[in-house]
Amino acid sequence: MKPIAILGQTVLYGAFAAFIGYFATSPRYQHLPPDHAVIKLSISHLGGRECRQRTPEELAKLPRNMRAPLDCPRERSPIALELNMDGKPLFHGQMQPTGIARDGIATIYRRFEVPAGDHVLLVRMNDNLRQSGFPYAREQQVHLKPAQILVIDFNPDKGGLFFQ
């Protein structure tokens, strides 16, 4: 029985190795079409808060240790975000603040496969929807090479929206 068991194991291990070998190379996986690039929209930011000035009457009603001149709610504003490529919208939406009290950071991550070549990108962001318009905007001509990854990010210390 021993030679039959060894022969059976050899056949089964060989079939398993052939199975693994085939699927290690086939079917062929292609991450991107050969003439496409990727734009990644990856932003994390705290939305604004609408603080108001307390009146002298309101301040007088408060205990001395709580007489802060500004009344700021805990909740933060959603963030409006738009991404246009060559005048056509790729993304229009809002990022909602996280947390039970809606006082956390708002985050978005989107990935867009686009044709390689020259494009005009326009990104606009409003981090306080109580105000109209888009205080942060960036329009730039970019040349995307095939398989290139362009990341759009936000950093107020670097001037707002930027491409890397």
pLDDT tens readout for residues 30-67: 788 889 999 999 999 999 888 889 999 999 999 999 99
Q: Look over the chain and give the mean of its residue pLDDT values, rounded to a whole number.
A: 92
**Is the model's pLDDT at 29 over the cut of 90?**
no
- pLDDT per residue over 53-103, tens digit each? 999 999 999 999 999 999 988 999 999 999 999 999 999 999 999 999 999
| Tokens found for residue 112 | 């867009």
Model pLDDT, residue 108: 95
Query: pTM for this one?
Result: 0.75
Question: Which residue, 102, 164, 92, is CA-closest to 134?
Answer: 92
% of the chain beyond a pLDDT of 70? 99
Question: Which residue, 41, 114, 123, is CA-closest to 83?
Answer: 123
**Burial letters for 98-132: b for 16+ Cβ neighbours within 10 Å, e otherwise?**
eeeebeeebebeeebebebeebebbbbbbbbeeee
Q: Running DSSP on this structure, what letter comes out for residue 47? A: P
Instruction: Identify the three-state secondary structure at position 21.
Output: helix
Q: Rounded to 5 degrees, what are φ and ψ at 82? A: -130, 140
Question: Which residue, 50, 40, 111, 124, is CA-closest to 81?
Answer: 124
Integer Cα distance of 10 and 55 in angstroms: 88
**Domain boundary assignment for the chain:** 2-163
Question: Which residue, 82, 91, 80, 77, is CA-closest to 46?
Answer: 77
% of the chain beyond a pLDDT of 90? 77
